[in-house]
Amino acid sequence: MSKDVSPRKFKRNFTVIVEGNIGSGKTTFLNYFQQFNGVSVLAEPVDKWRNCSGHNLLEKMYSDPKKWSFTFQSYVQLTMLQLHTLKTADPIKLMERSIYSVRNCFVEQMARSKCLDECSVSVFDEWFKWTKENCDLSIDLIVYLRTSPEIAYERTVKRNRPEEQTVSFNYIRDIHNMHEDWLYHKTLFKCPAPVLIIDANLDKSIIQEEYLKCKTQIFTNRAFKAIA
């Protein structure tokens, strides 16, 4: 890391959230940044969603979204809030997704596809509103791993996660459009921080150059200096 910001010196984490479609390469991106001093990586708590007191909520949501969406989204929101409020020992906290994409992409898609009825969305939004007003959810930078829906779908199928067997291209395209409206066109919901767009269509073999651009932006960011 370019400067020595020891844990005792900085006031709060410089928080970066990594957003993108299913299969866009977030985990791969986070694994790359794991190598740098001063960075704590917080992956999406998928294992918790797969085993909540023995229940695989991710599998239930994909197999019967109308029945399980609210249950699943409630637990996702709790587990993401736990990560947002965790203070890491390293100055830079790199989070995979956020409580914002939970609402702005996934819950929004469920509302539009009627997997969540209006009443459920209202209850979810009351929780979201209270959480934003009473918890420190501040973030300093959003990294948007932007892919085409075709490439995201191709990688998702290839990765072959058991619970995602029923995920259709149309669903990936819907989630893509939610991310585009939120983070690229900025016509959907307010962006809680500046957005850095990465061309995540690039193949693994050459994408590290694109990642390096990101490293400069993160480590020399004015906000990062402000926390020291």
**Site residues (CB under 6 A) for ligand ATP?**
20, 22-28, 155, 158-159, 202-204, 207
Residue 60 marked ligand-binding? no
- The contact pattern for ligand GNG, residues 164-193, with x = CB under 6 A and - = no contact, is x-----------------------------
Which is nearer to ligand GNG, 58 or 200 (by Cβ)?
A: 58
Choose the one of ligand ATP, ligand GNG, none that binds residue 91, judging by a C-beta under 5 to 8 angstroms depending on kind.
none
Residue 113 marked ligand-binding? no
- The contact pattern for ligand GNG, residues 72-111, with x = CB under 6 A and - = no contact, is -x--x-------------------------x---x-----
Which is nearer to ligand GNG, 15 or 73 (by Cβ)?
A: 73
Which is nearer to ligand GNG, 2 or 34 (by Cβ)?
A: 34
Sheet-wide strand order for 92-96 = 39-42, 92-96, 14-20, 141-146, 195-199
Residue 159 marked ligand-binding? yes
Choose the one of ligand GNG, ligand ATP, none that binds residue 204, judging by a C-beta under 5 to 8 angstroms depending on kind.
ligand ATP
Active site residue 96: yes
Place of tokens 């990688």: 155
At 117, list the tokens: 């009825």
**Segment 26 to 55, residues that bind ligand GNG, using CB under 6 A:** 44, 46
Q: Does 22 bind ligand GNG (CB under 6 A)?
A: yes
| 97 close to 26: Cβ distance less than 8 angstroms | yes
Cβ 97 to ligand ATP, closest distance in Å?
8
Annotated binding site: 20-28, 155-159
Annotated catalytic residues are 96
Annotated binding site for ATP: 20-28, 155-159
